[in-house]
Structures are given as C-alpha cells and as structure tokens.
C-alpha cells in the first residue's frame, strides 16, 4: 500500500516513521502490528522505489512486501539506512508499544564499521583489507554483544508481547572463481567476517528469546559475481529481487 506522496513528504520533514493502517479487507494477519527497525538491510537501500530518500525506505524492502501481502492491522516502517544501535535506541524504538505483535530488525553492521570495511577492501591491498576486518572482529567479539543485549532488552521492555525477528546479513560475494570487483582472498575474508557478525547477533538474539532469520542460506548462489546476483555490486546491498526472493521468505518463516 502506498501513502499519498504529499503526506509522506510531511512525515519525512518531521523526522517520523511511516505508519500504514491495514486496508478494509485485512487478511489472516489482521491482528498483527508490525514495526520494522534497524539499518539499510531492513530499510531497503539499493532496492529502489523509495517511499523516502533520507532513510532509503523502499517499497520493495522485505517488511513492506510482507505488510502488502499479509495486510496486518498496522505497519510502521522506522528502519533507516546507516542506522547504528544508538540510532535505534534514540529514534526508532519509540514506535514500539504494548500493541506491537511483530518486530523485524537488522542491526550491527554499521556499528562494526561496514562502510569503512568495504571501502578499505575495495581500495587497499589484501593486507589492508584484512587489517580492517581484524579491527572490526575485535569490536564484534568484545563490544557488540553487550550493546545488542542492551538494545534487545529495550525492545522487549517496550514491546513485551511481540515476536521479534532478528534478520542476519547475507554473504556479499561468491567465493572462488573470477570476480572483477574483488580478489578471491578479500572475498573470503569478508565472508568470514560476516560469519562472525552473524554468529554474535544470533547468539544474543537467542539469549533475548528472539528468533534469528539467517540470510546466508536464502541468498546462497546469488551473491555478487554469481550469474544471478541478488546483491548489487554497486550499492553492496540486496536488490529488490533479493528482498523478494531472499529476505522475505526468511522473514516470513521466522515470523510464523
């Protein structure tokens, strides 16, 4: 469902998330109230057809697709490209309340320095790429768990009866073979970093009683430099097809 463009513009000017009520012909999820939180992998950066440009919230992102297909009682799209854990705590979780029944969230990549890691691996040597990944790995092991615990506790406090689906990150690159945009060693190192990040996120989600939706199997065979990529080599984010065929089925299975 699309909101009138003028109303969307007003909401963006006020810095508000977009909340969409269900249509009159609500489906089997008519009682659900979905709130989408987190970073660009939930907002839909790279998926096009944006309902705004400031947060790159895409109508092709998996939460919007889920809401369109299932017609919940309400859908609040608060995820924002570039968001970190403090951003979610300070700007996004205010949209949760006792009526929230379902939460989708991806977070942690920007806290670990996703953008600078990718820049280093694209522009520097193998050693430079691995050094930046090692720095990120130290943060992911030592600091990220506590920050996730605090965030997940805040989410549970504000939405005590919600089913919370924590969506992980896919592998970005295929390993082996030729990939003009990234050498083989760098691709393997980046994917190893994804494994560590996903492991920590999954562990803390389980400790909080949340459900982890692993995106790696969903995107298998559709990474950058495969014959049918669902991740854009230019934006390093899932495409509209990636959200529809990768993230949406993973989220739907975890949310059921």
103: helix, strand or coil: strand
| DSSP H or E segment with residue 35 | strand 33-38
Let me know: does 102 contact 162? Beta carbons within 8 Å: yes
Centre a 10 Å sphere on the Cβ of residue 242 and count the other Cβ atoms it contains. 27
Residue range 29-255 forms a domain whose CATH class is: alpha beta
Encoded tokens for 241: 């097809």
pLDDT in tens, 192-247: 999 999 999 999 999 999 999 999 999 999 999 999 999 999 999 999 999 999 99
Centre a 10 Å sphere on the Cβ of residue 168 and count the other Cβ atoms it contains. 23
At 16 the pLDDT is 53
Encoded tokens for 78: 């608060």
Rg (CA), the chain: 18
Let me know: does 230 contact 246? Beta carbons within 8 Å: yes
pLDDT in tens, 22-40: 443 445 556 899 999 999 9
Let me know: does 128 contact 120? Beta carbons within 8 Å: yes
Residues annotated catalytic, as ranges: 40, 237
Encoded tokens for 72: 């919940």
Average pLDDT of the chain, as a whole number: 91
Q: Which of 72, 54, 76, 71 is nearest to 9 (CA)?
A: 54
Which phi and psi angles does 36 have, rounded to 5°? -100, 120
At 11 the pLDDT is 44
Sequence ranges of the domains in the chain? 29-255
């Amino acid at each position: 469902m699309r909101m009138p463009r003028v109303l969307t513009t007003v909401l963006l000017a006020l810095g508000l998330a977009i909340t969409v009520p269900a249509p009159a012909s609500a489906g089997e999820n008519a009682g659900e109230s979905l709130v989408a939180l987190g970073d660009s992998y939930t907002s839909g950066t790279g998926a096009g057809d944006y309902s705004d440009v400031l947060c790159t919230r895409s109508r092709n992102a998996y939460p919007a697709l889920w809401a369109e297909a299932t017609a919940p009682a309400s859908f609040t799209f608060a995820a924002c490209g570039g968001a970190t854990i403090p951003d979610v705590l300070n700007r996004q979780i205010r949209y949760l309340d006792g009526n929230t029944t379902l939460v989708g969230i991806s977070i942690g990549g920007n806290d670990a320095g996703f953008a600078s890691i990718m820049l280093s691996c694209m522009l520097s040597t193998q050693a430079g790429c691995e050094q930046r990944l090692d720095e990120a790995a130290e943060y992911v092991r030592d600091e990220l768990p506590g920050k996730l615990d605090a965030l997940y506790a805040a989410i549970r406090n504000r939405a005590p009866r919600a089913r919370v689906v924590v969506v992980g990150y896919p592998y970005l690159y295929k390993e082996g073979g030729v990939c003009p945009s990234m050498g083989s060693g760098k691709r393997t190192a980046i994917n190893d970093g994804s494994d560590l990040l996903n492991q920590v996120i999954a562990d803390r989600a389980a400790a909080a009683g949340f459900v982890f939706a692993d995106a790696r199997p969903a995107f298998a065979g559709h990474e950058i430099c495969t014959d049918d990529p669902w991740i854009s080599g230019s934006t390093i984010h899932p495409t509209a097809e990636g959200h529809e065929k990768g993230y949406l089925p993973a989220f739907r299975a975890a949310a059921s």
